Amino acid sequence: MPIQTIVPKGSAPPLAPYSPGAKGGNWVFTSGVLALDRDGKVVGAGDVARQTRHVLESIKSIIEAAGGSLADVVMNQIFLKDMADYAAMNKVYGEFFPKNPPARYCVAAGLVKPEFLVEIASIACLKA
């Protein structure tokens, strides 16, 4: 099965050797997405709600570029710098997945730079 690299227009430049997304068959995998703008600058420093919104909008653009939508997401992996931000992150997250939310987990973790408060990676299964 050929693997297709997914790089939506306006994507942030990767911080390491990876692609924003990859598609194999009907499956789309996003890399861990951080709150970076197209110039690689942090969005929403100190504001987990703003960072969560930016991250989920970025994930949406990756999945749409692969031919799907957020309704196709089956799993999200959420990493928070501080679990004290859980409620604020969850409030924004609920706006993106209001019905039939995907499976997920959320863990506290050190992220690649101290200004990042949330990172999310997604798996989607596109309709055949």
Q: Is residue 60 very low, low, confident or very high in pLDDT (cuts 50, 70, 90)?
A: very high
Contact 45, 71 (CB under 8 A): no
How far apart, in whole angstroms, are the C-alpha atoms of residue 97 and residue 108? 21
Contact 117, 29 (CB under 8 A): no
How far apart, in whole angstroms, are the C-alpha atoms of residue 73 and residue 105? 14
How many residues in the chain?
128
pLDDT of 82 > 90? The answer is yes
The CATH code of domain 3-125 reads 3.30.1330.40
Contact 5, 105 (CB under 8 A): no
Q: Is residue 84 very low, low, confident or very high in pLDDT (cuts 50, 70, 90)?
A: very high
Q: Give pTM, 2 decimals.
A: 0.96
Q: What is the pLDDT of residue 15?
A: 82
Q: Is residue 39 very low, low, confident or very high in pLDDT (cuts 50, 70, 90)?
A: very high
Q: What is the pLDDT of residue 13?
A: 83
Catalytic site positions: 106
